[in-house]
Structure 1
């Protein structure tokens, strides 16, 4: 299972399920606030920037939901491309990351 319990006095190699959920909830809340602000701002009918921002926030929300699913399935923190662990530092910054940096670069 890719989620480990924290080891006292050392940096864990994996996020705990509780920590991963906390980070994902924070990201979800941030994106929902962002979407609300975009909707309240309204914008013009053809405002491409606002539409792009809204699409981006909605994509991230889908990625966050998929990360919650990976936690439940026991695959959170494992690269979906190569099967290796995603470094904890990457998950701390981008808790909904599906891939390690190397695989992300190859698929981008």
Structure 2
């Protein structure tokens, strides 16, 4: 097997710290933008709907902040349920996830 193939396989198994930080920063910025939009629209919308949306966004922001801390301590990308690596495809879709799919199912 060539060196290029091994590097490609390793790349597919893990996101780089830079990639993880970029995805998490983008996720944070998106959620903050959503919160600002909700704050601006609150006067025109039903209060309970806006409160529910705001609660969901704040929950995700908390998860994003926790994921950023995991990047810093080196545990990002490892499942908190089974300690196996979380597939890079899952981290690309949900960069703040703490669990692999099987462990997420069990956590419910």
TM-score by length of 1: 0.87
The aligned counterpart of 1:36 is 36
Deviation at 1:9, TM superposition (A): 8.4
The aligned counterpart of 1:103 is 103
Could you list the per-position Cα deviations for residues 9-45 of structure 1 after superposition, in whole angstroms to 9, with x for gaps in the alignment? 8752100000000000110010000000000001479
Calculate the aligned-residue CA RMSD, in Å: 1.8
1:43–1:50 Cα contact (<8 Å) kept: no
Point out the structure with max Rg over C-alpha.
2
Q: Helix, strand or coil: the match of 2:12?
A: coil
Q: Helix, strand or coil: the match of 1:12?
A: helix
Give, in whole Å, the separation in 2 of the partners of 1:33 and 1:61: 11
Deviation at 1:48, TM superposition (A): 1.5
Structure 1, unmatched stretches of 5+, are 1-6
Q: Is 1:89 the counterpart of 2:92 in the alignment?
A: no
1:13–1:88 Cα contact (<8 Å) kept: yes
Structure 2, unmatched stretches of 5+, are 1-6
Larger proportion of helix: 2
Aligned length: 102
Distance 1:87 1:10, change over 3 A: closer
The aligned counterpart of 2:77 is 77
Q: Helix, strand or coil: the match of 2:13?
A: coil
